[in-house]
Structure 1
């Protein structure tokens, strides 16, 4: 990866900064329902609309799924009308959704929340806007550091879990939507003034057509990569969004004790947010580490290691209810392995689909969102059906093992065909 010093005098620093702000704020908003789900459920129950575990899981899953599918839609508009117009339009929809939720407050219904969740999906699709806008300004040799800066916004989910429950405790859960709406508006104004689309002298747009997507979908390797990312990123975003619900349903008494004795914090919702942030932090910051490991030992071997660790640890979570601090440690390791697996997958993708990386990023990203939706819904279904998460954990562990089996099926062919010419470790 190029150094930060290499960026001096290259591209457009204001646009790069604006893209980072836009993506960071968007990722924070996209995952906002996760740390607020239990507070919202309690509020609805107090107003006569009690939610079961399946309904809570659906509420958390909709932003993930809509964000995944909207990545492809926004990718089309980035090519047609440019990143800036696409980003502004998308952000206006997100801001309207946030202020609507705040305005309705405790009077909001579950069906209205589902529409809000759908609107927040536009924030999750920002990946397809911010990264191309930043990357278009810079030469190929600087793409690694540029996309690393613009894409660092996934730390936003950690900030959600740290601050959202405390804001909800002090001023009500609807205040979190107000804060999100105000901050998103400020970021939008800054983005309008700072961001610029790259001129044709720097970047020549090559609009994608539906046939381009269809062509890649007929390539079997596309489906293998989509499976791997559905497991890695799907696992990360699924666990991240559901983490607080899981902790509140499983370790509420333990967290109350820990909160009183260690943090001197009586609100168990806040404590759940802190521990959720700790586990999610591992996956958010270790993605580049996974890419670095893959550069050294190869993406295939890396995925064996990371997926193997995930399968074993998730199965352990399903076998028995672990002591609280042991469960936090295991969840931390699961999220770390998933985050590094994300980096390993994208160490391989450019080597196989270098000429079509834009389209493949959209397709693989959509698959990741679908994987996250599946995980959240599976956990909610398991809790509702069996009053236990064990079956949900076992199903996800089986999916990870399926991915490991798939790696074994393709590794020899990959290494002897395109991998032999790729120039990197496979």
Structure 2
């Protein structure tokens, strides 16, 4: 057991006083980061109409922020081990603000190349997740880290905030002012984080250089196992959060407009957000393997139903919400699995790699959906069948993995 692990286990409740408040503040910070990260998706129909984009261009526009947000998590997770959550939260929020303004400029001058470039930059906001997991883990004893990471994971409610509020703000106050509001919120949140967030007394900075630290994480078996599972559960969530407005307005053009699609996407995100801490807490009790299996079984069966393209209505809405909840349970389970299975000095690096895998899992589906869209039948069935197949493989893999013992530590 490492020195930092010993300190973590030896930190008493008095030293960890205020732990929930700190994790909740980190969750709020993450919410704003996710809002910025998913800023383009709710406006995709506006960009498509005004810039005359085809299916491939729309898919590229939606996928680019996801790619950068995914790969950047590897670096940000390792840097969090070195500099701590307070500094990294503030840095990510401040660096993301200009990206929001660049997106606004791209839309204002109707430049697709600039929109892709600004979307690339906007991906920085998505790396905020890799800051919060090691930050939250350090505030709680090992047996409650599933709960802590589940609470922090609720920051992905920012996807719902973005889907619900972005198109409405654009309609009410205008396109440019909407982006000014988001950019200003990021800066304000960075200031709040700097003055009120503090790293856990159980946390110790890692002085190991970045590349060896990431390489060390890649040598751990748990990193690859959890990266694969998280690529399905979180990747599916990101993919649907990004592509769902496009999917709904394409498949149900007479029933769903841009605002309605945003509302449905927000409900999808909320269901996943609510389920995530439940998945973490249940994993602390019964083990993350059981919860992961339930999650993956739900994703596979519900993706099959969506692939049948039922009429827009209660069944469709309930199916998407149930799928989101299944994904949320899985997200909570995966990070509850990482906690007791990873050396404490590598939590940030492993978190970064696994979180990156989740983001990459969300990068490819929009591209695949665009490439496999059948215009003659107005169907994305082939892309959804691929999700069913990959989810079934993940279900088998998860069944073969060794469970983490609730409350154990490395």
TM-score (norm 2): 0.86
Equivalent of 2:383, from 384, 388, 392? 392
1:1-400 paired onto structure 2 within 5 Å: 10=17, 16=23, 18-44=25-51, 50-133=52-135, 136=138, 143=145, 146-197=148-199, 203-209=203-209, 210-255=211-256, 268-355=257-344, 356-383=346-373, 387-400=378-391
Q: Give the SS at the match of 1:322.
A: coil
Q: Against the structure 1 CA distance between its residues 352 and 203, is the aligned structure 2 distance closer, same or farther, given a 3 Å change threshold?
A: closer
Q: Deviations over 1:113-171 (max 9, x none)?
A: 11221222111111222444455566657655554554431111111122111122234
Cα distance in 1 for partners of 2:21, 2:309 equals 51
Q: Which has the higher contact order (CA 8 A, sep 6+)?
A: 2
Q: Against the structure 1 CA distance between its residues 7 and 283, is the aligned structure 2 distance closer, same or farther, given a 3 Å change threshold?
A: farther
Q: Give the C-alpha shift of residue 292 in structure 1.
A: 3.3
Q: Against the structure 1 CA distance between its residues 18 and 339, is the aligned structure 2 distance closer, same or farther, given a 3 Å change threshold?
A: closer
Q: Give the C-alpha shift of residue 228 in structure 1.
A: 0.7
Q: Against the structure 1 CA distance between its residues 194 and 35, is the aligned structure 2 distance closer, same or farther, given a 3 Å change threshold?
A: same
Q: Against the structure 1 CA distance between its residues 184 and 13, is the aligned structure 2 distance closer, same or farther, given a 3 Å change threshold?
A: same
Cα distance in 2 for partners of 1:7, 1:252 equals 57
Q: Against the structure 1 CA distance between its residues 162 and 113, is the aligned structure 2 distance closer, same or farther, given a 3 Å change threshold?
A: same
Q: Deviations over 1:277-334 (max 9, x none)?
A: 1122111111122233334443323322221121121122223443433211111111
112-121 vs 367-376, greater mean Cα deviation: 112-121
Cα distance in 1 for partners of 2:302, 2:141 equals 41
Equivalence for 1:259: none
Larger radius of gyration: 1
Q: Give the C-alpha shift of residue 96 in structure 1.
A: 0.8
Cα distance in 2 for partners of 1:8, 1:216 equals 29
Cα distance in 1 for partners of 2:127, 2:309 equals 37
Cα distance in 2 for partners of 1:178, 1:15 equals 28
Q: Give the C-alpha shift of residue 402 in structure 1.
A: 1.1
Q: Give the C-alpha shift of residue 13 in structure 1.
A: 7.9
Q: Give the SS at the match of 1:254.
A: coil
Residues 72 and 124, structure 2, Cα contact 8 Å, conserved in 1: yes
> How many matched pairs?
393
213-222 vs 130-139, greater mean Cα deviation: 130-139
Cα distance in 1 for partners of 2:66, 2:14 equals 33
Equivalence for 2:398: 407
Q: Deviations over 1:240-285 (max 9, x none)?
A: 1111111111112123xxxxxxxxxxxx221221122112211111
Q: Give the SS at the match of 1:252.
A: coil
TM-score (norm 1): 0.83
172-181 vs 107-116, greater mean Cα deviation: 172-181
Q: Give the C-alpha shift of residue 73 in structure 1.
A: 1.4
Q: Give the SS at the match of 2:373.
A: helix
Q: Give the SS at the match of 1:305.
A: helix
Residues 101 and 108, structure 1, Cα contact 8 Å, conserved in 2: no
Cα distance in 1 for partners of 2:64, 2:45 equals 16
What 5-or-longer segments of structure 1 have no aligned partner?
Answer: 1-5, 45-49, 256-267
Q: Give the C-alpha shift of residue 361 in structure 1.
A: 1.2
205-214 vs 11-20, greater mean Cα deviation: 11-20
RMSD: 2.8
Cα distance in 2 for partners of 1:133, 1:351 equals 15
Q: Against the structure 1 CA distance between its residues 384 and 61, is the aligned structure 2 distance closer, same or farther, given a 3 Å change threshold?
A: farther
280-289 vs 215-224, greater mean Cα deviation: 215-224
Q: Give the SS at the match of 2:204.
A: coil
